[in-house]
Structure 1
Amino acid sequence: MLLSSTLLIGGVVLLIAIIPYFIFFVGIHRGEKERAAQEPKKYPAISIIMAAYNEAAVIRERIFNIKESEYPVDKYEIILVDDCSSDETLRKAEDACRQAGIRHTILKNPERMGTNRSINRAIEAASHPVLVTTDADVFFEKHALKRLIARLISEEGIAAVCGDLRPLPDELTHTSQLEKTYRDYYGRMCEWESAVDSTYNFNGGLVAFKKNLVHRIDDRRGADDANTAFEAIRRGYRAFYEIDAVVYEDIPETFSGQYKQKIRRATRLIEATVANLDLLKNKRPFSRLFYPLRIMMYLLTPLLFFISCIFLLTGLFLINPLLPIGAIVAFVFISLIWKSNLITAFSTNQAYLLAGLLNLGQDMRVWESTSKKQ
């Protein structure tokens, strides 16, 4: 009786935990799809904003990566906010912008301010009506900026757009393969949300928004990317995930390095999620379907998932004490041999989300670089 009850509880709890993922799975394969945005006859002038801390090893390459994009160089400026770097980030950024022939403004914070406050400072200094925020250690595909801006200006109802963040294509480490599997599913989830209404699951690697609609982002708590999307949604506009605007990031090689990166991101995303609960009262698909699913996904699923694992392993133990050990060994073996399997990617990210929940209340606005180039 105890055995059957334990296994039944574990199975039921697991099924409840994965409900939002099942709904997204159906939506990805059966739901509405958005057509590709048409290329405009004329691209608007944009201000590209970067907040950087100790990125001297990559900042020159980053500046020239922007220069090599297909967006007309006379149509953008770069505003870089140096968040009190202790290396030569500021000098190298200045030299690279001059050599690349890019109009630029370099701001240096008087103290560590973090991404959100640095971006708000740059917004005030921006000259153009369309703003693009990006990280100092990611790299655009050549078409990324054009496709991002084409989507943003494709309709008046879109106030903010996010690009699709992926690991560098030539990275074959265990952490990058797991992240690639997770990101592929994540991007398609956001794509479906965007086709129906909006998503707030933005990536900080590449975000664009209309300055007259999003004046600033919440710099008290939460992620700058999610807060940008929430600001657009709060004003009654759409926040769109453009999966064809690809930006690449350097994934930490070790799990300890990735842990620091993922926990910071998870904590700030969860903070943004719980800070905007009043939007649930709005009468739109985002508030009635997608936001509740995301709340469950980030606040309940991680806890329920690990509770179900405890019950299922306990049930196996009651059958034979060696069975839970065998199950764990099998999971580890599969994870090591099949680096890109969805089960391992899902389980790992549940652990990151649970750790993010446990880190709520800590100030995660000020960051340390996790790039392996450091």
Structure 2
Amino acid sequence: MLLWIGPGLIAAAIVPYVIFLAGINIGKKLDEPPALTEYPKISIVISAYNEEAVIQERVKNILESSYPSDRYEVIFVDDCSSDNTKALVREAFERAGITYRIIANTERLGTTRSYNRAIEAAQYPIVVTTDADVFFERHALERLIARLLSDERIVAVCGDLHPLPEEGSHPAQMESAYRNYYGRMCTWESAVDSTYAFNGALVAFKRDLVTRIDDRQGADDANTAFEAIRRGFRAVYEPTALVYEDVPEEIRRQYRQKIRRATQLIEATIANLDLLRQRRPFSRFFYPLRIYMYLITPPLFLLGSVLFVAGLALTSPLLALGVLVLAVLAGYLWSSNTAVSFAMNQVYLVRGLLNLGTDTRVWESTSKKIRRV
């Protein structure tokens, strides 16, 4: 009986992924945004805690963007760093000739609350939030703003996040496989209506319509998207706005990072269930799919897997052992495989569900903190 129940639960668990797979391949496609004819002035916001190893290279990366440096200001929020981050970033801004302001928190606030301080201080109508330890592709910022201005119904946009191209570690390969599928899912949602599965590495929004990011619970990126959707507008994923991150080489460090992200995404998902009442494709179709993916799929998949192996062990212990060994080998040898990445992601989501109620607003960075020269 267990040999039938287990696969049945696994089949039920993957239903939303099958639907997304079909949508990715045969569904509506996102049109290219028109090129910018002029560059609007924007406020770029960075919040950082103990980023002295990468912060000067990060400022250099922004300066090397195709977006003209005289069309933006940078607001840097130092979240009580105990290292030399604040002095180094000031030095980098001065050397680069970038218009900047530094806000120094007097207590640890975490990313979202720091962003809200900066949004209040921003001069310009478009705000871009970005991490201190990621790196833009040269045209990413320009393409992000082009998408934001391409449709008056679009109020928030995020970029496409990937591991750094030179990363070859096991965790980086697994993350790359996950990001490849994740990005295509978000792009299909965006083509039809909206997505809230944003990447906090690079987000832009119109400040007159997103005046504040909910900082009580959930991720800053998802909450930015939800704020736009709540007001009846669109939140869109831009696949040509590429941004790269260091992925922890140690599985233990990546596990901590993924658990935190999973917890915050689930919190944001649960906190906005009232949006199901809206009459739009996002609320009637995509949001229910995401709820299923984050709240139902993970426990179903893991329970189904356990029951299947248990049923196999009752009939053939050696075969059950062989299946477990093959699963472990697959995870190690084929880390770039989408199926392996999917299975690992269910573990992270289950752990995120168990982690609900824990305050994840303030956290220690898990990036490798290797200075880039």
1:45 aligned partner: 41
1:257-295 deviation digits (Å, cap 9, x = unpaired): 001111111101100000000000110000000000000
Matches within 5 A, 1:57-206: 57-206=53-202
Structure 1 residue 339, shift from structure 2 partner: 2.3
CA distance in 2, matches of 1:99, 1:367: 30
Task: Report the Cα offset of residue 328 of structure 1.
Answer: 1.0
* 1:277 pairs with one of 273, 281, 285: 273
Could you tell me which residue of structure 2 aligns to residue 217 of structure 1? Answer: 213
TM-score for the superposition, normalised by structure 2: 0.98
Aligned residue number for residue 287 of structure 1: 283
> Which ranges of 4 or more aligned residues in structure 1 deviate by more than 6 Å?
none
- Separation (CA, whole Å) in 2 of partners of 1:306 and 1:335: 15
Q: Give the drift of 1:308.
A: 0.2
Q: Secondary structure at the match of 2:53?
A: coil
Which residue identity lines up with residue 72 of structure 1 in the other structure? P
Aligned with 1:329 (options 325, 328, 344): 325
Cα distance in 1 for partners of 2:209, 2:328 equals 48
Per the alignment, residue 262 of structure 2 pairs with: 266
RMSD, aligned α-carbons: 0.7
Tell me the CA shift for residue 334 of structure 1.
1.9
Given the alignment of the two structures, is residue 253 of structure 1 paired with residue 288 of structure 2, yes or no? no
Shift, 1:332, TM fit:
1.3
Aligned equivalent of 2:32: 36
Distance in structure 2 (CA, Å) of the matches to 1:90 and 1:122: 16
Equivalent residue letter for 1:326: G
How many residues are treated as equivalent by the alignment?
A: 370
> Percent of pairs identical after alignment?
62
Cα distance per residue 1:297-356 (max 9 Å; x no partner) = 001111000100111101211221112211111111122222211121011111001101
Alpha-carbon separation, structure 1, partners of 2:301 and 2:197: 21
Gaps of 5+ in 2: none
Q: CA deviation at 1:12?
A: 1.1
Give the Cα–Cα distance (whole angstroms) in 2 for the partners of residues 81 and 181 of structure 1.
Answer: 32
Match of 1:361 among 357, 360, 363: 357
Cα distance in 1, alignment partners of residues 37 and 340 from structure 2: 45
Secondary structure of residue in 2 paired with 1:244: strand
The amino acid that maps onto 1:301 is T
Give secondary structure in 1 for the equivalent of 2:235.
Answer: strand
- How far apart are residue 163 of structure 1 and its match? 0.2
Of residues 95-104 and 324-333 in structure 1, the stretch that sits farther from structure 2 once superposed is 324-333
